[in-house]
Amino acid sequence: MPRLPLAEPPVLERNVSGASPFLLTCDHYGRLIPDALGDLGLPGSELARHIAWDIGIAGVAERVSAELDAHLIAQRYSRLVIDCNRPPDVASSIPALSEATVIPGNEGISPADAAARRRAIFEPYHRRIAEAIDARLAQDRPTVLVSLHSFTPVYAGVTRPWHVGTLYHRSPVLPHLLLSLLRAEGDLVVGDNKPYAVSDLTDYTIPVHGEARGLMNTGIEIRQDLIADEAGQAQWAKRLTRLFREIETTLIAPQSSYA
């Protein structure tokens, strides 16, 4: 059974003992590629694009984690190696084509090599999220899952007008509250399940760790050009931190159970 050696562990954590009810995840935090896979047959310019990672979200996630004292669990490897927000049995888990870019290193990948990527990166990441949730629930700690992402300003030639979107599937309570708070800011175009909607076929973190565990949850997508530099990341982290604190006061703290 083949193994995929990794120079860096797949899971990055911050504030493991954070007191906040919010548990932050970042599926596309990094863009590392295991040495054994080279550059997947791509030039550096492609590996710096959104197809490889969620540009800007790492800086936002780190800052929100620090400001809220919230546990952050993030994934260091490129989504082109294996996408940690896709069910591992779908084609987009290890894409041979991402947007209009062919990924030579993923073409014709054997089931054994795909399984090696899953064992090395996907499984440790999601096992750690599950362990963290188990520990919190065992301690009867309020736990609210927030999955942080970024999206491209233009996709397939179509301009996306939203600055930010809240994403959900079966659990609309938190996303709808966050949607209202973001729209009340007065300077934002906010998407309701835009630019993406969560589903069991296209997502993994929210359906498996949020919905299946009965946790209050939301996905957040921020447009990349707004968080491409440190100033934008700091601004958005400050905004989200302020809104999360309001949500904790008005929605989370008074409740003894979460759905």
Q: What is the pLDDT of residues 124-149, one digit of tens each?
A: 999 999 999 999 999 999 999 999 99
Which of these ranges, 57-61, 75-79, 156-160, has the smallest mean pLDDT?
156-160
| pLDDT at position 92 over 90 | yes
Res 1: pLDDT: 74
Mean pLDDT of the chain: 95
pLDDT computed for residue 258 by the predictor: 43
Q: Strand 101-102 vs strand 144-151: parallel, antiparallel, or unpaired?
A: unpaired
- Assess whether pLDDT exceeds 60 at residue 240: yes
pLDDT at position 254 is 59
User: Are 33 and 40 spatial neighbours (Cβ–Cβ below 8 Å)?
Assistant: yes
Residue entry with tokens 């030639």: 157
Q: What is the mean pLDDT of residues 207-233?
A: 98
- The alpha carbons of the chain give a radius of gyration, in whole angstroms, of 18
End-to-end CA distance of the chain: 40
Mean pLDDT, residues 55-80 taken together: 98
For 5-23, the pLDDT digits (tens) are: 999 999 999 999 999 999 9
Task: Check residue 251 and give its pLDDT.
Answer: 72
In terms of pLDDT, which residue wins out, 132 or 196? 132
pLDDT of residue 157: 85
pLDDT band for position 250 (cuts 50, 70, 90): confident
Q: How far apart are CA 35 and CA 190, in angstroms?
A: 40
pLDDT of residue 216: 96
Residue 256 has pLDDT above 50, yes or no: no
Helix (H, G, I), strand (E, B) or coil at 191: strand
3-state secondary structure of 193: coil
Confidence of residue 36 (pLDDT cuts 50, 70, 90): very high
Whole-structure pTM value: 0.95
pLDDT of residue 200: 94
